[in-house]
Amino acid sequence: MNKYQPKDSFQSPRFCGPRTFMRLPYIEKLDEFMDFVITGIPFDSGQSFRTGSRFGPEAIRDFSILLRPYNPEQDINIFDYISGVDYGDIPVVPGYIAETYDKIEDGLIPIVKQGTIPIVLGGDHSITLGELRAIAKKHGPVALLQFDAHSDTWDSYFEQKYNHGTVFRRAIEEGLLDVSRSIQIGMRGGLYGIEDIEDARNLGLELYTTNQYKRAGVQNMLGVIHQRVGKGTVFLSFDIDFLDPVYAPGTGTPEVAGASIDDALAFVRGLTGINFVGFDLVEVLPAYDHGQITSAAAANIIYEFITLIALQKKKEMDSVSTL
């Protein structure tokens, strides 16, 4: 069986070779042995404040070479159960969001169609609309599980309908999300008005602010998440500004009093058993990331995404072996 896994760092030092996520093989041709692919979408023309997240995929990959295949927190050697590659970056058109959406769809549809799970490195949050369009081609409307400081449900920004602050309103309007199973967690910071929060709820999304999740606690919130998303297909979108700037200074629109990296990892580790069909992590902006703090957080969160896929495959294999 042809399986893809990271290079052995006992045989090849981490500082050797091109930067791929977790030192996975760099392969741009799909085959049946790929349970997941890592792909970058280096687009930041949808950002409204700091720009530079087009360099996020590169920065995340650079730190990810320190990651190892055994996840002790979940007690699993990931690549005993799944196979994955770094698929490179999807081409984008800087400054042209509609054209970039077309390229995102064209790039992701073959991946999704064959049943491989895409894990996307952003880029700003506007890219998620293109991802959801591709995923809907196979799965129809999916539940959204979003960790973010902002709900991204404005109708327009600077009188423009497509940017990183409008992405989920557009996704709902296009019928890409099952809002009855969707949930947003982590909203905080100053607003232009109460409607910035209420609009998301009026669209049918369940929303919890950072203060609400902290009062409830991560474990209680995990119960809420599992109940909300149910057994159907789910897309997980993680904006790195969910984290407090102490843990993620390198981002486009930082908000104080956010989540710790401990809470973020506890959230993701607690998402076992959910039927994920896609992931992204967006808004890493390396120009503001001293000491690779943000890239370290991002790489480790994505590592937990991969672990969730491995745990699900292990569960399926164990179930077959007991028949």
Q: Which domains does the chain have, with CATH numbers?
A: 21-321 (3.40.800.10)
Give strand pairing partners of 278. 235
pLDDT in tens, 158-184: 788 999 989 999 999 999 999 999 999
Q: Residues 64-74: pLDDT tens digits?
A: 999 999 999 99
Which structure tokens are listed for 82?
């799944």
Whole-number Cα distances in Å, 81 to 23, 77, 147, 196, 320? 17, 8, 27, 43, 14
* Arithmetic mean of pLDDT, 114-138: 97
d(CA 36, CA 282): 18
Per the CB < 8 A criterion, the answer to whether 85 and 27 are in contact is yes
Q: Which of 238, 187, 235, 245 is nearest to 212 (CA)?
A: 187
The confidence score (pLDDT) of residue 1 equals: 47
- Check: pTM over 0.85? Answer yes or no: yes
CA distances from 35 to 82, 118, 243, 286 (A): 6, 9, 28, 29
Work out the pLDDT band at 48, boundaries 50, 70, 90. Answer: confident
Q: What is the mean pLDDT of the chain?
A: 95
Phi and psi at residue 37, in whole multiples of 5°? -130, 145
